[in-house]
Amino acid sequence: MFNRRSLIATVAMFSFMAHCGNVTINKAVAQEGAAKPAPVLPSMKGETIVVAGTTGRSGKVIVELLKAEGVKVRAFSRNIEKVKTEVPGVE
């Protein structure tokens, strides 16, 4: 048989489940007015960006994305020789 604590916990759990089943979130109603367009970001072309961890997994991807946008990249890494061989085209 149930003791008092487990009975209360079971009732609370079923009450919460029933509440969650009745709650719906409509994103269209939650927003105020019409959806706003995404902001236009300024171009970083010609800017110099310092990337820390340039020879790492994420750093290499970030460098390639920045170079594709025309940004000059300055490398910041523990091993300068590794930067020169693995990530060409950076300062």
Tell me the DSSP string of 3-52.
Answer: -HHHHHHHHHHHHHHHHHHH----HHHHS-SSPPPPPPPPP-TT-EEEEE
Mean pLDDT score of the chain: 76
- The pTM assigned to this predicted structure is 0.54
Whether the CB-CB separation of 52 and 78 falls below 8 Å is answered with: no
User: What is the percent of the chain where pLDDT is above 70?
Assistant: 63
For residue 26, is pLDDT > 70?
no
Mind listing the pLDDT tens digit for each residue in 38-59?
A: 777 788 888 898 999 989 988 8
For residue 86, is pLDDT > 80?
yes
Residue 90: strand, helix, or coil = coil
**H or E, element range at 72:** strand 72-76
Q: What is the DSSP letter of 77?
A: -
